[in-house]
Amino acid sequence: MVVCLVGGGQEINTGEAGISEWFEAIEHSFPHWKIYLSDRLTDSEYGAGRIVNQARENEMVTFLPELHLRTSVRSFRSENVSLFVKQLLDLEKAEARESLLSIQDKYPIVLTRDLEVAKDWVRKKARGSERYGMVVSSQAERLKPYAIDVRVKSNPVHWFLNGKDDVRSSYYLEDVATEFDVQGLELDWVCMAWDADFRYDNGSWGNWSFRGSRWQRIKKSERQMYQKNAYRVLLTRARQGMVIFVPEGDDGDLTRPRDYYDATYSYLKGLGINNIES
The whole-angstrom separation of Cα 23 and Cα 36 is 11
Question: Which pLDDT score is estimated for 137?
Answer: 96
Question: Which pLDDT score is estimated for 134?
Answer: 98
Tell me how long the chain is.
278
Binning pLDDT at 50, 70 and 90, where does residue 11 land?
low
Report the percent of the chain where pLDDT is more than 70.
88
Among candidate residues 162, 182, 180, the one with its CA nearest the CA of residue 172: 162
Binning pLDDT at 50, 70 and 90, where does residue 92 land?
very high
Amino acid making up residue 151: R
pLDDT per residue as tens digits for the range 93-128: 999 999 999 999 999 999 999 999 999 999 999 999
Q: Which residues pair with 229 in a beta bridge?
A: none
Q: Determine the angle formed by the axes of helices 93-103 and 81-89, rounding to 10 degrees.
A: 160
The whole-angstrom separation of Cα 81 and Cα 102 is 9
Write down the domain spans for the chain: 19-67, 81-275
Question: Which pLDDT score is estimated for 177?
Answer: 95
Q: Determine the angle formed by the axes of helices 221-235 and 81-89, rounding to 10 degrees.
A: 150
Looking at the predicted structure, is the pLDDT value of residue 240 above 60?
Answer: yes
The whole-angstrom separation of Cα 252 and Cα 228 is 28
Q: Which carries the bigger pLDDT value, residue 77 or residue 4?
A: 4
Write the DSSP symbol of residue 143.
G
pLDDT per residue as tens digits for the range 168-209: 999 999 999 999 999 888 999 999 999 999 999 999 999 999
Q: Which residues pair with 192 in a beta bridge?
A: 135, 244
| Domain 81-275 grouped into CATH 3.30.70 | no
Question: Which pLDDT score is estimated for 56?
Answer: 77
pTM for the full model? Answer: 0.80
Residues 6 or more apart whose CB falls under 8 angstroms from that of 20 comprise: 47, 48, 50, 51
